Structure 1
């Protein structure tokens, strides 16, 4: 088929399996745009209207066709994963590889273990990039890997690296601890800046302009993603609490600015 003809082959690697992207929201579409020209992609979404105008090498499929895929990449909101996995677990093809792409890992890994048959391979991932941070494609972008049940982990990693990705392997807990300190905190500060009305000013500093860059990373993401990132990461709340305490201590140290400035 034309789609098969577009597939790439790498020396020492077998031909890549068929890829099915489950979910065609903002990130799912971005992923499809990146993968389809290289390996081809089947795409399913609960909302068929999202499947219009797919890139070359991608084709819409039914739910039954999606479940029959060799490699299934889940690109749905975190909150949608439990119901999706419950449904998928009843139909998924034995020995297939299911890959999630959630920004948190502890809960999705638990859900996949609980819902998917033991014959199904499970790989947790978190792409540390998206449509805004990787407008030129996958080359050089970082991908976190949490291998749970993968028959040939080195082969999977080599295949991903052949796409130009830089893979970082960790545990679900290790991932969520670090993401709570980085992505979750950044999104939280960004949302707070947004609510404060932070914007470019005529009189500002380089430091302030760099602070405003945070807004670029959060303004295009949905509130749903922000909420899920904070709620489903077990380590996010303690990090937010520590940050709030640090702000309160700083405020106390500065003291009352109204104590008098007659000597200025």
Structure 2
């Protein structure tokens, strides 16, 4: 016999679905509009001490803290394979076929991060570097990044900044540097490992034709972390930037990129 629910019970179910479904998405959308996902991690790092104080008071529980500040992954091939093996074993031994959302998000970020970086470097080598002709400019940039923590390559459009950037990065990979191509600024902090030789690679820094104010704002929360990161002799940063962007007065905010400049012109 089919059981029917009362109008009051139906109201309860509908209201519960609204609060746990639509309202949650609305709250997330509003949160994302106030704190851009692209720089959320950097913003949290800036307020690390305040957040840690909340963790000590148990206002933030361990699961929430793990979501906010996941353990930094290593990006060496051996570590990558070990991480993939770990998650394969993990999912093989799940009896109920269910993965908690927090565990899923952590696993997805770790595994997809491995695949994305490896695919990017493979694409650079196959599509760009096999036909690359070594020039004095490329040799000079390589020499500069070996001797300095940061190097910024500048030139007008069409001169070949990106090709030299990628070629130099691949050369540094042969010197046992882990190469981290950055599109999401949070990756600078997320993938940094002070115990490994790392080269962070940033293309088209702060806009193509003029300084993008949103890019400047995205970098702001990272300034303190970035200065600390490059103090480590094992970590280097190389960037390509259009000359008109580099000369814009608003770019002076990013002083870290001005210590060693290679102007291809």
Q: Return the TM-score normalized by structure 2.
A: 0.27
- Structure with bigger gyration radius: 2
Ranked by relative contact order (alpha carbons within 8 Å, sequence separation 6 or more), the top structure is: 2
More helix by share: 2
Q: Return the TM-score normalized by structure 1.
A: 0.27
